[in-house]
């Protein structure tokens, strides 16, 4: 599988290099040179396939025998070891639950698959690969649990002290083994600056093999295409066209859906659902892409003012506004609308959404009132478990909610983190002491 950079100034590389590098040297984003259409026989077999079976078939077609079958099976079985069930809310409305992984959010799919692929591509190296990650909360947990126990890889996670939720902190700091947490007495931006400096510092890069587990790594997008096929398979009835409503921030999830469509899945279109950070819905409306500083909302994993995957979308659509509009429609919503929808769905269906899923549901409900939306079937992606946002969700519905078992267990584990000022010398010394 060959990949090129969206900027076109870097050489085409094989999958292994793209995954281990993360970003091409020209600072573009890697894109598959060729996205195959899957065989008719795949779609005939789809109703009886499991999620790992689907993943295997998709990767086999995409990777073109770049990874031997036995290894590919092992990678997929290790990464995709939890389900993505579809729940029917009404005749035309389904929810695709993507929160059954260890960190209770869809990012587990990408993080676990990337961890397995990196471990595989790194297998012949004598020296450890050290992965540096700055997190504002969510990504770090998925990355930590994805990489724990992967041979030959060390992960160092930086998070801002006091600025992640207590449960998120436990998800970062209780794994031990090859996962190290650094609690930075500063902001998320401080964490990110430390990581950026480390990658540019020859004193480190000459002696350590550094890499990132960035959200723009192509290995995170690929497994996110699997569950679109799996969702389709689970739909009971299919009234007219099928639209997926995708709560979006950096637009990785939606880009992965477009990959599935390109591979032949009969998705009519995507509803880009955002909170007030609405640069993409605005672009779809007006044809002007204007990044802006992000605004804080209750669906905070989507507080993104300049979505990193926009360049991938432009690449897929040849930067042509009409191509965008043929595949996507966008809506944005305020926090008060989000709270209202969360509570309404809970009352009407007894189904508890999280704030991100509620934005997806709002967008689907708005879409079905348009001409295009009449007599269609909608699948709303539920990107996180409501218990991840316990305080907000409880205050919206006025009831206590119970934590899933994985969160209960983690509450009692002991936090281990190295407290550090936001100071580059301390950080680089720490890395050299620990990993050199």
As annotated, the active-site residues are 107
- Nearest approach, Cβ of 251 to ligand PLP (angstroms)? 5
Alpha-carbon gap, residue 34 to 385, rounded angstroms: 34
Strands 86-90 and 93-97: antiparallel
Cα angle value 208/209/214 (rounded, 5°): 125
- Nearest approach, Cβ of 168 to ligand PLP (angstroms)? 11
Per-residue three-class SS string for 314-357:
HHHCCCCHHHHHHHEEEEECCHHHHHHHHHHHHHHHCCCCCHHH
Alpha-carbon gap, residue 138 to 237, rounded angstroms: 34
Backbone angles phi, psi at 60, to 5 degrees: -60, -40
* Consecutive H or E run containing 93: strand 93-97
Q: Which two tokens stand for residue 101?
A: 């992984």
Sign of the CA dihedral 273, 30, 117, 227? Answer: positive
Decide whether 93 or 248 has the Cβ nearer to ligand PLP: 248
Decide whether 272 or 431 has the Cβ nearer to ligand PLP: 272
DSSP type of residue 312: H
- Nearest approach, Cβ of 99 to ligand PLP (angstroms)? 8
On the CB side of 167, how many CA atoms lie within 13 Å of its CA?
Answer: 17
Alpha-carbon gap, residue 246 to 227, rounded angstroms: 13
- Nearest approach, Cβ of 302 to ligand PLP (angstroms)? 5
- Nearest approach, Cβ of 281 to ligand PLP (angstroms)? 13
- Nearest approach, Cβ of 265 to ligand PLP (angstroms)? 18
- Coil, strand or helix: which one is 121? helix
Decide whether 105 or 195 has the Cβ nearer to ligand PLP: 105
Decide whether 220 or 368 has the Cβ nearer to ligand PLP: 220
Strands 269-274 and 328-332: parallel
- Nearest approach, Cβ of 239 to ligand PLP (angstroms)? 27
Strands 153-160 and 179-184: parallel
**Buried-exposed string 53-84: b where 16+ CB fall within 10 A, e elsewhere:** bbbbbbbbbbeeeebeeeebbebbebbbeeeb
Decide whether 119 or 160 has the Cβ nearer to ligand PLP: 160
Decide whether 13 or 316 has the Cβ nearer to ligand PLP: 316
DSSP labels for 4-58? EETTS-S--EEHHHHHHHSS-TTS--EEES--PPPPHHHHHHGGG--HHHHHHHH
CA distances (Å), origin 236, targets 85, 91, 232: 12, 9, 9
Decide whether 146 or 252 has the Cβ nearer to ligand PLP: 252
- Coil, strand or helix: which one is 269? strand
Decide whether 122 or 338 has the Cβ nearer to ligand PLP: 338
Decide whether 178 or 215 has the Cβ nearer to ligand PLP: 215
Alpha-carbon gap, residue 404 to 332, rounded angstroms: 30
Which residues in this chain contact ligand PLP in the complex, by CB under 6 A? Answer: 105, 107, 138, 247-253, 301-302, 356, 383-384
């Amino acid at each position: 599988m060959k990949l090129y950079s969206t900027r076109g100034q870097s050489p085409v590389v094989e999958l292994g290099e793209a995954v281990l590098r993360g970003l091409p040297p020209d600072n573009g984003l890697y894109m598959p040179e060729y996205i195959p259409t899957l065989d008719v026989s795949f779609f005939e077999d789809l109703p009886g396939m499991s999620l790992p079976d689907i993943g295997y078939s998709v990767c086999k077609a995409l990777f073109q025998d770049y990874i031997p079958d036995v290894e590919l099976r092992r990678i997929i079985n290790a990464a995709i070891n939890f389900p993505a069930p579809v729940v029917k809310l009404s005749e035309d409305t389904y929810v695709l639950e993507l929160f059954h992984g260890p960190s209770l959010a869809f990012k587990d799919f990408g993080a676990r698959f990337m961890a397995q692929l990196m471990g595989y591509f790194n297998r012949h190296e004598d020296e450890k690969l050290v992965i540096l990650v700055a997190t504002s909360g969510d990504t770090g947990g998925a990355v930590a649990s994805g990489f724990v126990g992967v041979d030959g890889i060390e992960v160092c996670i930086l998070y801002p002290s006091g600025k992640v939720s207590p449960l998120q902190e436990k998800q970062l700091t209780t794994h031990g083994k090859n996962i190290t947490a650094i609690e930075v007495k500063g902001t998320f931006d401080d964490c990110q600056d430390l990581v950026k400096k480390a990658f540019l510092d020859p004193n480190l890069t000459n002696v350590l093999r550094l890499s990132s587990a960035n959200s723009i790594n192509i290995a995170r997008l690929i497994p996110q295409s699997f569950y679109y096929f799996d969702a389709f398979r689970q739909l009971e009835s299919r009234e007219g066209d099928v639209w997926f409503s995708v709560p979006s921030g950096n637009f990785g999830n939606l880009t992965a859906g477009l990959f599935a469509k390109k591979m032949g899945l009969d998705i009519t279109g995507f509803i880009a659902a955002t909170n007030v950070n609405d640069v993409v819905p605005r672009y779809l409306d007006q044809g002007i892409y204007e990044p802006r500083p992000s605004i804080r909302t209750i669906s905070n994993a989507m507080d993104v003012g300049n979505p990193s995957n926009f360049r991938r979308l432009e690449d897929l659509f040849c930067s042509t506004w009409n191509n965008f509009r043929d595949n996507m429609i966008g809506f944005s919503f305020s926090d008060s609308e989000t709270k209202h929808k969360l509570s309404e769905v809970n009352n009407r269906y007894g189904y508890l959404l999280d704030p991100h899923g509620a934005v997806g549901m709002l967008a689907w409900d708005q879409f079905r009132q348009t001409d295009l939306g009449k007599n269609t079937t909608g699948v709303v992606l539920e990107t996180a478990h409501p218990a991840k946002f316990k305080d907000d969700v409880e205050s919206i519905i006025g009831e206590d909610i119970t934590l899933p078992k994985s969160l209960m267990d983690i509450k009692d584990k002991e936090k281990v983190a190295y407290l550090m000022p936001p100071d580059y010398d301390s950080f680089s010394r720490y890395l050299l002491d620990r990993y050199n």
